[in-house]
Amino acid sequence: MNDGAQGLSWHGQIPCEIALSAYDVVDLAAPAPVHLMLPRMSYLHAAASSAVDALRQSSLVASASSVWFSVDKTPQRFNLPVGVLFDIHQLKNGVRENSETIRHLPWRLTVHFSSYPADVLLGYDQDVPRHFFSQQLKQALFLEHGNARVGMGITQENSEQMWGAVGEGDFETYKIVNDKVVADYELGEMKHEEFDTRSEQQKHTDEVRAQMDAEREAAERKEWGEAEETEGGNLRKREINSVPVRVIIGDGEQKLIQKPVAATKTLGEVLEQFLGDGGGGTDRVINGLFGVPDDTFITELWRSCQSADHFLYVVVKA
Amino acid sequence: MSEAASSSTPPAPPPNPPDPKVKIYLMPVGSAPILKRSKFKVSASSPWSQLVMFVRKQLALAPDASLHLYLGSAFSPNMDEQVGGLSECFRVGEELQVQYSIQEAWG
């Protein structure tokens, strides 16, 4: 993975102001809103739990099973990363370039403890956000590898560690667990290969060849630099079966579209695939970035801007 | 006739194409009851939640009974994901194989 760019993505935070819904206030005066920085890669319920706990004190209905957030009276989906929700909000409010983002800060959210909008949001209880994150991660890994084995290798402990890291926007911990999961899978693949029918001599020859290829590629990378790593959109480290990409149409019902995406495609080609003719020219925002060129390889974007669930979210204007 | 006049009567737009159908193959896991009929067609634009409701009805489950639907014997899609998109990504051959279980089968 492109750790540098992905690490920068993870350090992105959004200044927020969280207020208690007027319908839930039981004190004579509404409590002061809570100001905090929400990590882009996190999820509302994980990242804003301290604010929720503080505001809960002033609410009569404090059931954990009905906590939800809204922005401008629009309920926010808890299964989308904070950054994606903010990008939807920006596009909806006519932001077209990064310099305009500042006008919409702090991002004003309202937390509710009653009147859960079950017709709009998925069913919620305390453990549901982590469960959805885990399932989305497995789905993305299935697309990446073309099978379920990596996802199935995620233990309960791995899942809890990743969710904890996501909640705190802690890229270092997330990366350690994420890399371990993939490394365990690759180790399993190697063990699986021990049962192959090649002769010892053939295995040795293949290993020597693989070692020589790796050394040659390393030398080429050193000579040609980072750009050479993904020439043609092909991944250097391992082949990708399909790039996990989701397109969200940022207006109205915020429809989410998912299709298999070949690793060799550009952003423009992907938008044409998802949205039909003319899709490439659509206003879009990716991980807070406006104006990403159509000819950017989708794998480059995915490496740099993928969310913690391994999906690349592209928010487009309807 | 001028060009402007001829362009004032554009041809009628083609009617919207019908919503394509996705072939679903329902496979029981563990102690889940076997359905009399396991293959169905569902509109591609249907949300996953609609398929879940359909299977609940087919199994005649009580409202509070649990039901888990999986793809690839691995994960549960979100309720708001479209069946058509999931089929494009995860179908096997011509059909989307869906595992269903009363107990949680794959966390």
| pLDDT tens by residue, chain B, 107 residues | 444 444 556 667 666 667 799 999 999 999 899 999 999 999 999 999 999 999 999 999 988 888 999 999 999 999 889 999 999 999 999 999 999 999 888 76
Chain A hits for B82, CB-CB cut-off 8 Å, are: 256-258
Indicate whether A212 and A109 sit together in one domain. no
- Domain residues for the domain of A14 are 3-122
Instruction: Give a three-class secondary structure readout of B48-97.
Output: HHHHHHHHHHHHCCCCCCCCEEEECCCECCCCCCEHHHHHHHHCECCEEE
Q: Which residues contact A59 (CB under 8 A, 6 or more apart)?
A: A20, A24, A25, A26, A113, A114
Indicate whether A228 and A287 sit together in one domain. no
Q: Which amino acid is at B46?
A: S
Q: Is residue A141 part of a domain?
A: no
Specify the pTM.
0.81
Indicate yes or no: CB of B74 within 8 angstroms of CB of A136. Answer: no
Q: Which amino acid is at A208?
A: V
Q: Is residue A155 part of a domain?
A: no
Q: Is residue A307 part of a domain?
A: yes
- For residue B50, the distance in angstroms to the closest alpha carbon of chain A comes to 13
Indicate whether A232 and A251 sit together in one domain. no
Q: Identify the residue with better confidence: A228 or A177.
A: A177
pLDDT digits (tens, 9 = 90+) for A229-265: 444 443 345 678 899 999 999 877 778 999 999 999 9
Q: Is residue A117 part of a domain?
A: yes
Residue of A79, A136, A259 lying closest to B89 (CB–CB)? A259
Indicate yes or no: CB of B82 within 8 angstroms of CB of A258. Answer: yes
Nearest to A263 by CA among A245, A246, A283: A245
What pairs with residue A266 in β-bridges? A297
Nearest to A253 by CA among B91, B15, B80, B33: B80
Q: Last residue of a domain, which of A104, A122, A140?
A: A122
Q: Is residue A210 part of a domain?
A: yes
Q: Is residue A204 part of a domain?
A: yes
ipTM over 0.85: no
Indicate whether A27 and A99 sit together in one domain. yes
Q: Is the pLDDT of residue A119 over 70?
A: yes
Q: Is residue A44 part of a domain?
A: yes
Q: Is residue A95 part of a domain?
A: yes
Q: Which amino acid is at A309?
A: D
B92 touches chain A (CB under 8 A): no
Q: Last residue of a domain, which of A75, A103, A122?
A: A122
Q: Which residues contact A120 (CB under 8 A, 6 or more apart)?
A: A75
